[in-house]
């Protein structure tokens, strides 16, 4: 065992989050199922726009063992169109309305970088978690808004924005830069009154394939932050471009990387394929957790 590995054992990662009075145990990793309400997400199998499609998808996530449903109405694939706040809410609102009626107890995560969308999602539909790909960079009011809402916040790292993030991203020291970023943001969030912070290294967001694999290799370094970590590599380009396949064929590669991420400390897997991810957690738990 390396000296770094030994040091990591002394850091106690927080193993629970408070979702509006409901304490969610993260000592066993959870699976978050993706529901994209956009017409242009990179993986066609994750797009759900009609009422019946959305209901069926959420039923599927729950029945397969997913604990959190993540709704996104703004496509964050590289080069995606920058839609308005109005259009994002028009996509998101009907879906939240449907799900709160049909599945009142399900844990809802809303994938948005806009504080107004976060506020309406929590106040009108009791969304449980805010998942912000921009880490507060796109909306200066996000941290204070989430602090007032008293919900957990997923803090992701992204270099640039979805329109520019893959235009030759560069780092001098990738992991060190991300650790510094998260440490500063963590303190800012605590100052704003946010009690529960989850970090997301942002695979594929302002990172090329080499960056992504370097990040995966050193994922255990993030334990020093003492915060639960979400990993989202599901069917991403680091898999299908490396293997010279399409996103449709990238399930096996996703499972391999999810397994590695669990061994390196991931507490939430954000995925398209819930059944396979739940099985991965169960098997890894038998060996290492």
Whole-angstrom Cα distance, residue 77 to residue 246?
A: 15
Distance of CA 123 to the CA centre of its chain: 21
Question: What pLDDT, in 10s, does the model give residues 237-283?
Answer: 999 999 999 999 999 999 999 999 999 999 999 999 999 999 999 99
Query: 114, 223, 236, 267: which is the annotated catalytic residue?
Result: 236
| Strand order through the sheet with 197-200 | 197-200, 153-156, 129-132, 107-111, 68-72, 30-36, 268-271, 230-231
Rounded to a whole number of angstroms, the CA Rg of the chain reads 18
The answer to whether 286 is a known catalytic residue is no
Tell me what percent of the residues of the chain surpass a pLDDT of 70: 88
142-149 and 174-191 helices, crossing angle to 10°: 50
Helix (H) or strand (E) segment spanning residue 144: helix 142-149
Query: Helix 142-149 vs helix 115-125: angle between axes, to the nearest 10 degrees?
Result: 10
Position 260 scores a pLDDT of 98
Cβ atoms of 107 and 68 within 8 Å: the answer is yes
d(CA 106, CA 288): 28
Which tens digits make up the pLDDT trace of 142-199?
999 999 999 999 999 998 666 555 667 789 999 999 999 999 999 999 999 999 999 9
pLDDT tens digits, one per residue of 120-135: 999 999 999 999 999 9
Domain containing 226 — which CATH number?
A: 3.20.20.20
Range with lowest mean pLDDT among 54-58, 64-68, 81-85, 205-209: 81-85
Q: Catalytic residue among 270, 275, 282, 286, which?
A: 270
Could you tell me the residue range of the domain that residue 187 belongs to? 3-287
Domain count of the fold of the chain: 1
Contact between 78 and 107 (Cβ < 8 Å): no
Residue 120 to residue 287: CA distance in whole angstroms: 42
| 98, 151, 154, 219, 265 from 176: Cα distances, Å | 43, 28, 20, 11, 18
At 44 the pLDDT is 52
pTM for the complete prediction?
A: 0.90
Please, which pLDDT band fits residue 48 given cuts at 50, 70 and 90?
low
φ/ψ (deg, to 5) at 22: -100, 115
């Amino acid at each position: 065992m390396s000296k770094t590995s030994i040091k990591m054992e002394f850091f106690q990662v927080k193993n629970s989050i408070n979702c509006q009075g409901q304490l969610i145990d993260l000592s066993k990793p959870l699976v978050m199922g993706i529901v994209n309400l956009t017409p242009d997400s990179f993986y066609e199998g994750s797009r759900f726009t009609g009422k019946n499609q959305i209901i069926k998808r959420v039923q599927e996530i729950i029945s397969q063992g997913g604990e959190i449903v993540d709704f996104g109405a703004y496509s964050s694939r590289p080069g995606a169109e920058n839609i308005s706040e109005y259009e994002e809410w028009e996509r998101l609102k009907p879906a939240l309305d449907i799900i709160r009626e049909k599945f009142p107890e399900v844990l809802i995560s809303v994938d948005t970088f806009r504080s107004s969308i976060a506020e309406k999602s929590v106040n009108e539909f009791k969304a449980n978690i805010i998942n912000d790909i921009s880490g507060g960079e796109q909306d200066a009011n996000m941290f204070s808004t989430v602090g007032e809402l008293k919900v957990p916040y997923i803090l992701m790292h992204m270099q640039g924005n979805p329109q520019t993030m893959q235009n030759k991203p560069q780092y001098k020291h990738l992991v060190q830069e991300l650790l510094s970023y998260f440490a500063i943001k963590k303190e800012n969030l605590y100052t704003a009154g946010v009690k529960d912070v989850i970090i997301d290294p942002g695979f594929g967001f302002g990172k090329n394939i080499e960056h992504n694999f370097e990040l995966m290799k050193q994922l255990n370094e993030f334990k020093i932050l003492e915060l639960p970590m979400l990993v989202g590599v599901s069917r991403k380009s680091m898999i299908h471009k490396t293997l010279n396949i399409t996103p449709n064929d990238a399930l096996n590669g996703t499972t391999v990387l999810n397994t590695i991420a669990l061994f390196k400390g991931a507490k939430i897997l954000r995925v398209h394929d819930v059944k396979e991810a739940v099985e991965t957690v169960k098997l890894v738990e038998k060996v290492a957790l």
